[in-house]
Amino acid sequence: MDRPLVVYNDDNTELLAEAGRLAGGVDATLTILSLMTADEFREAREALDVVAKEEQTSYDDSVVIDVARRQASDTAEDVLADIDVDWAVVGARVGDGKSGADRILDVANNNDIDHVFITGQKRSPTGKAVFGDRVQSVILNFDGPVTSLLA
């Protein structure tokens, strides 16, 4: 493992810490992906539009993603403070015809990632069939090991 990726959300700081320990143990650089859902992006965009109106300016979508990236970076600083590991945060959002799994795989491919750490939700087979399963899709389509933690 040289270039691991951990898919970050507010609920998986345990996975972030474990990925950091493993990456640090083999002197790898950890990439942390802050992935916004379409709803999270819409809500953040609306909040930013209110601020922009008061400031009489405008902000493009990259600012919304940058805010999420900075929040993930702040959390990573806290969680990884006692772990000797190099890390960087990237941001992306679901949408424009791309699912969460698609975005994860895009980031993995664009950054030569060789291991993915991801959390998922326990779902019934019917739930997976109807709603899809991000973890399953990443496992099936990523050319490398995937470590998942079910929430």
The domain that contains 131 carries what CATH number?
A: 3.40.50.620
Full domain range(s) for residue 85? 4-150
Cβ pair 94, 100 in contact under 8 A: yes
Average pLDDT of the residues in 55-82: 91
Total domains present in the chain: 1
**pLDDT value, residue 111:** 96
**pLDDT value, residue 113:** 98
pLDDT digits (tens, 9 = 90+) for 98-127: 889 999 999 999 999 999 999 876 666 655
**pLDDT value, residue 133:** 80
Of 105, 67, 109, residue with least CA distance to 89: 67
